[in-house]
Amino acid sequence: MELIDTHCHLTFEELAGDVAAVIERSRAAGVTGWITVGTDPQQNRKAIELAERFENMYATVGIHPHDARTVTADTLKELRELAQNEKVVAIGETGLDFHYNLSKQSDQRRVFASQLKIAKDLNLPVIVHCREAFEETMSILEQHGRGVKRVVFHCFSGSAEQAKIVLGYGFYISFTGVVTFKNAEAVREAAQIVPLDRLMVETDCPYMSPEPMRKQKINEPALMIHTARCLAELKRMDLADFAEAVTATSRAFFSLPEK
């Protein structure tokens, strides 16, 4: 069986100290590919360096909405350069987070739009982070996202109705351990309507440990097996068939080489 963790932060300090062991446990659990996602200039550089060290590991580069306030023309220039590294498979994560509002909303919008432009220019897909900003995110994608190769809403925690809108635009949807949480019935309803050729699985580790491992404070790719199992059950499929389908979707989304 082969599964790809399509959104992890292996460069964050909770995991970065012993990535080799994290990867070994992941492989043992059947999670054999990883997309380590950049969030700021330093993490972007680290993500590329890490991906260069491991087979089946790829990187993305982007500026998280939390860090939008720090972005200058130079930041975007470097982002554009890093994005041309051969291990980089997407721009992101980028988007809007109106839950924490760690950066001004006007900065978040500006930096999101700039990254959509870079993705378009370089023909790369985009990983979108959207929290309590659904309509605003869709509106920026409408204005600035035309011509972007592919878009995924990561760590989807919206309703089936919102999922339908996202799918209507041709976008993809990715689920974390949130889908396993007891109080997440709405997210499970959303997962049920997402076809397998638009669905991906991720940990967003070190955050979001899935049930029944939610007590494990530091999430890691090995635990994604629980999320995959939950989604396979929702789809009434064998885990192996589900894994094959979503891995094909992930490879196509990020244009990963065939194994």
Footprint on this chain of Zn ion (rule: CB under 5 A): 93, 129, 204
Q: Which of 214, 220, 249, 179 lies closest to 28, judged by CA?
A: 220
- Cβ distance to Zn ion smaller for residue 204 or 220: 204
- Cβ distance to Zn ion smaller for residue 203 or 235: 203
Q: How far is the CB of 12 from Zn ion (least distance, A)?
A: 9
Q: Which are the contacts of 58, defined by CB distance < 8 A and separation ≥ 6?
A: 33, 34, 35, 36, 51, 87, 88, 89, 254, 256
**CA 118/CA 67 separation, integer angstroms:** 17
**CA 217/CA 209 separation, integer angstroms:** 7
- Cβ distance to Zn ion smaller for residue 129 or 188: 129
Q: How far is the CB of 63 from Zn ion (least distance, A)?
A: 12
Q: Give the CA count within 13 Å in the CB-facing half-sphere of 141.
A: 27
Residue 128's alpha-carbon distances to 40, 49, 55, 60, 108, in angstroms, are: 14, 23, 25, 12, 12
Tokens found for residue 200: 């991906």
Q: DSSP class of residue 69?
A: G
Tokens found for residue 235: 């789809």
Burial state string for 164-199 with b = 16 or more CB within 10 A and e = fewer than 16? eebbeeebbbbbbbbbbbeebeebbebbeebebebb
Q: How far is the CB of 204 from Zn ion (least distance, A)?
A: 5
- Cβ distance to Zn ion smaller for residue 9 or 150: 9
- Cβ distance to Zn ion smaller for residue 83 or 97: 97
- Cβ distance to Zn ion smaller for residue 96 or 232: 96
Q: How far is the CB of 191 from Zn ion (least distance, A)?
A: 18
Q: How far is the CB of 155 from Zn ion (least distance, A)?
A: 5
Q: Within 10 Å of residue 102's Cβ, how many Cβ atoms?
A: 14
Question: In terms of DSSP bridges, do strands 126-131 and 151-153 run parallel, antiparallel, or are they unpaired?
Answer: parallel
- Cβ distance to Zn ion smaller for residue 67 or 93: 93
Q: How far is the CB of 93 from Zn ion (least distance, A)?
A: 5
Q: How far is the CB of 65 from Zn ion (least distance, A)?
A: 8
